[in-house]
Chain A
Amino acid sequence: MKPALLALACLLLASRPAFAYRIFVSNEKDNTITVLDGETLNIVQTVDVGARPRGIVLSKDGKSLYICTSDADHIEVLDLATLTVNRVLPAYKDPEFMALSNDGNTLYVANENNSQVSVLDIPQGRIVSEIPVGVEPEGMAVSPDGKTVVCTSETTSMVHFIDVATHTVTASVLVGTRPRFAVFTKDGDRVWASSEVAGTVAIIDAHSHKILHTIHFSLPEVPKAAIQAVGINITADGKTAFVDLGPANRVAVIDTDTLAVKKYLLVGQRVWHGAFSPDQSLLFVANGVSNDMSVIDVKALEVTQSVPVGQAPWGIAVAP
């Protein structure tokens, strides 16, 4: 590259730092997505979207953000280069949360009011299958091998295992009341599923569908009723899990070997969902009642900062 071009390239890079990343927070009650710079944690832009944005998922190419705009009964696609909604995908009714297939072409959408999972073909822009599940489906996750989707149904208190090839429920595991969120471990052998009202996390064998262990939480200064397990984030090395405890205003840190709670981190009010920074050094969590986002230092296990975002922040995603 010629020096002049190199200089120009450097200048371009300087105007957008080479390792910058952005954080996206869905704000359920003011119909916006807050976009923050990952380095400065300043708000870059607040984007108006459809009614009641909740679950958000980054596309596999990192160029788009899929947004469940629940009360608009569809999924909006936010183009991350222009920060404009440039496509609307059908989602049947009341999409709350979704998971993306490993090839990035299919969204599995939980339709909370209709007790079903919609299978959305993204390139075709149409729903290709509807899978009946329990009452108020919410948590969605795709297995690492892409062959299985799990869905939690809140009022039914079940984790449903769905076979991707046949779009049928192959097993339903009864867990604690109001399961909200599920995630596969990296090896695909286990599913961690949180139960909001029971305030527990069930660790399920993804093959035998047996509950291997149930994690309980207890804080002397917090009433048991306020301990409501919601979002779960497991570090890439698989060693540490963070469980968001809703109105307990704490994030529990769990050693995945011993399954013991190592620490409770005080964050904002009604902590809901979280996402790691690309280098996994930070965990960002959305606090639905205090309208802010807490920043957790993953190594030090300390809360370092809180950043105001929109009204009733719900979901969170990070784009490198």
Chain B
Amino acid sequence: MTSFFRFIARHTAYFYFLLYCSISIMLMQLQRKETLDAIRERGLAANAAIAEQLSGFRSIFSLKQDNERLFLQNARLVSKLRHQELAMRDASAIRSLIDHRTDGMNRFTIARVVDRRFSATDNMLIIDAGRNRGIAKNMTVLTPDGLVGRVIEVSRNYAKVLPVINRNFMVSVLTDSTRTNGLLSWRNGNEGIAQLEHVPVSSTLLVGEGVSTSDFSTFACRGIPVGRIARISKDKLFYNVDIRLAVDFSALSHVMICPDKPTMEKIELMESQDVPQKEP
């Protein structure tokens, strides 16, 4: 017995080795059977927590590079976002125009406003539709909300539009309920307000009444809404009428062009002399 203990005492390292190896192999077996999941999970949690702290510490040294990288990335993203916002706005405007088309309007050409010159005295629009798309001088330009203006000049791919809010623009209009005729024009100032002229005080007008283009117009299709009467005041012979325009010119991005050309015969007839010459 004594010699056995002496043997063990002499070879304790082997016994330790065997013991530890057995425990290790047992742990390996248990690990394969997923019995040590809890320990493994805790190990993973500790590992992740320490790694997070270390990466946080390391990131202090790379803050400058990170900032520069983020600035560049931010710039790229802002640029992309702007591009997508514009595309979405265009798509939404086109969808709105298509949705508002009635059967009679199916022939309308849709164009985008590519340039504008809006000042207190001189307003002009450029649209991206020209002769190639069948646009001609004096065609009516409108949106689903109402009248925008008329085409005054056409190139191959573009057209210049004289908007309602231009001193040189005039159109014959008719009130919706009282059927009173008048001439719509715009004076300098408020881009949302135009004036109705040549309405005699004997006529009937109502505030809030709609105003649309009449048959008398030499260019506009009949019945295009123009706006609503905002204010009426009497002068000696005529009313002073303010019309709140239906179209918001400050947010104009897409327009429709009515393909109906003015009948030249009608224009020529109107421009001919009123009194026939006396025959000798």
- Chain A partners chain B: no
